[in-house]
Amino acid sequence: MHCNYFRGVNLRVILGAGQTRYDGWISTQENELNLLSIDDWNRLFSEKSIDVMLAEHVWEHLTYEEGILAAINCYKYLKPGGYIRCAVPDKNFRNDWYQNMVQVGGPGSIEHPAATHKIVYDYQTLENVFKSAGFIVSLLEYCDETGNFYYTYWNENDGMIGRSFRFDTRNSIEKLGMVSIIIDAKKPLIIKV
């Protein structure tokens, strides 16, 4: 995979994709695109070449400071007017099972995917990570400090998040089982006059 291969196409990239594959999206893994490595970014993409990025439960595997650096790198490679849809576990979700599972270091087993969690975000902290990189942030789903859950409609064709209110089967209007903080972090298109 090299940036020349993708020139002239609508670039939609899944960061830390794991097994996730969507038509029209390029799935990347940490071993080929480490979000903190500018060399990896340069090897795969040109600056300002990506239209959309998608990161579902990736940022919690970075420290707060690493999260800012990763956001800065994303900003550099997004086209003006592009965005990243990012989802992370929610520190404010009032569910003991969930909080045990997503805690820093995970629930115990080193084989568990959450074993490498380095932070559990609340919505304000996640917003600050992306605002620090220059993004304009829209909250799509999150819990506030009292545990109330907020949902704003978002189109799954613009970046599908499985661990979300509408698409996780553990959720219903009566009971929430698996939620995420979901944001769209937009890189503004600025026209100088």
d(CA 68, CA 78): 15
- pLDDT at residue 7, as a whole number: 55
Q: Do residues 171 and 182 make contact, with C-beta atoms less than 8 angstroms apart? A: no
d(CA 18, CA 21): 9
Determine the angle formed by the axes of helices 123-132 and 64-77, rounding to 10 degrees. Answer: 50
Residue 187, strand partner residues: none
Q: Say what the pTM is.
A: 0.93
So where are the chain's domains?
3-186
- pLDDT at residue 109, as a whole number: 86
Please give the share of the chain, as a percent, with pLDDT higher than 90. Answer: 90
In this prediction, residue 169 has a pLDDT band, given cuts at 50, 70 and 90, of: very high
Burial category of 32 from C-beta neighbours within 10 Å (exposed 0-12, middle 13-18, buried 19 and up):
exposed
d(CA 74, CA 50): 9
Nearest alpha-carbon partner for 22 in 30, 13, 31: 13
Please state which CATH number belongs to domain 3-186: 3.40.50
Amino acid in the structure at residue 24: G
- pLDDT at residue 111, as a whole number: 87
Burial category of 162 from C-beta neighbours within 10 Å (exposed 0-12, middle 13-18, buried 19 and up):
middle
Nearest alpha-carbon partner for 83 in 60, 109, 121, 51: 51
